[in-house]
Amino acid sequence: MLMRQNAGHLMAFIRALVRNESLAEDVFQETLLVAWRRFDSFDRERPFGPWLRGIAHLTALAMFRKGKREIYVDSAVVEAIEVRAEALERSWMGMEHHPLETLQDCVGRLPERYRDAVEILYRGDRSVADVAAATEMGLEAAKKRLQRARHLLADCLRTKGVLS
Amino acid sequence: MNSDESRNDPNREADERIIEAMFRATHATERLDEERRIQSAMDAIRASEVAAPTVSTAPTMPAVSRRGRWWVAALGGVGSIAALVAITVLSQPSEVRAERIIARAKIAAENVDSRRFDVVIESPLNLELPDREGWVEVLSRPENHPLLRFEVSEPIDQAQAWGVDDQGGWEATPQGLVSRFRRAEWSERILGGGLDLLIDAIPAMLSRVEKGYDLVAATTRTMSPTLVATKRFTVDEKSPDRIRVEFDAETYEVSLLVLEWDRSMRGIPRDQMGGLTGPPARITFTRRATGNLEATDFQPRW
């Protein structure tokens, strides 16, 4: 039950951390396994989510080191992700509307040119180059547009209480 | 995907990463993926629960390759080291899963001395004969031999029964006792040894592997932990080509056993076999969902 409650937002945190789907799967599995083994050491007076994400962070770091992979995540970025993940956890578990529904709502509110770029990239499961080609922009311009779109979405989600 | 501008601003980069992660979670298959993820994690947890006692009781054989370890742990007197070299385990996850299944099933088998299964025997595909149906009941195993009774009740004109009682093995038709055989022969005389997989699932499976089967799958992703073994060409023709054993996810007792014969694997297509002498297409044993077995005196009452 605890696993199911936390699986969604935990995976979102891990994905944000590692940005690699197969690695995220591995980190997820290992995180839950470690959490299970160390559950006795978990202070029940404290929230479960941050404890779980702490394990995920350490697991990801260990996997990076083990794989000698150059995937450096600045600690300030990790902290910022954690802040957002905490808010995401609350909304994932407690809000009337699921945060992914809210995201969809926010996508609908984007100006058309941003919305099109996002839809192509994420819904179509395409590359930035595909976005550039479809919107007849240069690659860098497409990157900028997508970046701007994500920031607008983050602002929208903050407004709706999904992110802090 | 994020730009240098974002890299210099942790908050902006965090925003981008979180948004990307959320989009990932909106993929159409995410719900199924999440279920699979959770199931895998639960499998890993269960595996970790049984791994320690399994390993600790295993014989020490440093020369055995890593791929063979779970067999070492499970053999426990029913196999030989030589058999290990003949075993094919396709992947490391399979090894871990198989180790878990075997460990749990062995423990479960020690605590169960009675079980009953419904049996369906499917005729060869080219023969338009009705399936034969019946049941098998196993009570206990004094002196290492089971007391059991296997009855085919449908179709009525093919009704027949086999069993093992205090005096030994027996075979009977509705008209009366046909023959008796030595108790030690029960495994070969009744269903060509298939019943041993119900009675001693894990030792019997390991024994099969010794004699020429490859373990090709061990899955715990479904509700039923499952072992599948396929026959190599060297094994006698009476043996099934595929064996599938499913275990109850809670108790790890055998819940389903399927034996399949497929002559086409040896170059003789099943639909060209003809005659009644060949093996059936499939025998399925399904654990009967009852904890109260009917009283059976295990006498050939015909």
The string of pLDDT tens digits covering residues A66-97 is 765 555 677 888 889 999 998 888 887 765 66
Chain B residues with a Cβ under 8 Å from any Cβ in chain A: 1-3, 5-6, 10-27, 34, 37-38, 40-42, 44-45, 48
Residue A33 is nearest to which of B19, B25, B48, comparing CB atoms? B48
A153/B19 Cβ within 8 A: yes
Q: Do the Cβ atoms of B207 and B83 come closer than 8 Å?
A: no
pLDDT at position B91: 34
- Quote ipTM for the complex: 0.91
Question: Using 50, 70 and 90 to split pLDDT, how confident is the model at A12?
Answer: very high
Whole-prediction pTM: 0.46
Topology (CATH level 3) of domain A99-159: Arc Repressor Mutant, subunit A (1.10.10)
A13/B21 Cβ within 8 A: yes
Write out the two tokens for A59.
């697991």
Q: Taking the domains of chain A in order of start, what are their residue ranges?
A: 2-93, 99-159
Residue B126 CB-half CA count within 13 A? 15
Cα A29 to chain center, whole Å?
17
Q: For residues B111 and B294, give the distance between their C-alpha atoms in angstroms, rounded to a whole number.
A: 19
CATH 3.40.50 is the classification of domain A2-93: no
Mean pLDDT, each 10-residue run in order, chain B (302 residues): 60 92 83 77 68 29 26 28 29 54 72 77 69 81 72 80 81 75 73 71 73 70 72 68 82 83 51 52 79 45 38
Q: Which long-range contacts (CB under 8 A, 24 or more apart) does B60-68 make?
A: B66/B95, B67/B92, B67/B95
Under 8 Å CB pairs connecting chains A and B tally to: 113
- Nearest chain A residue to B24 by CA: give it: A122
Nearest to A147 by CA among B15, B284, B247: B15
pLDDT at position B144: 66
Question: Using 50, 70 and 90 to split pLDDT, how confident is the model at A106?
Answer: very high
Sequence-distant (6+) residues with CB within 8 A of B93 are none
Are β-strands B242-247 and B226-231 bridged in parallel, bridged antiparallel, or unpaired?
Answer: antiparallel
Question: Using 50, 70 and 90 to split pLDDT, how confident is the model at A153?
Answer: very high
Nearest to B194 by CA among B158, B225, B231: B231
Note if the bond before A99 is cis, omega within 30 degrees. no
Q: For residues B70 and B138, give the distance between their C-alpha atoms in angstroms, rounded to a whole number.
A: 28
A77/B14 Cβ within 8 A: yes
Cβ-based contacts of B16 with chain A (< 8 Å): 147, 150-151, 154
- Nearest chain A residue to B26 by CA: give it: A100
User: Which string of b and e fits A108-141 if b means at least 16 CB within 10 Å?
Assistant: eebeeebbbbbbbbbeeeeebeebbebeebeeee
pLDDT at position A147: 92
Q: Do the Cβ atoms of A112 and A36 come closer than 8 Å?
A: no
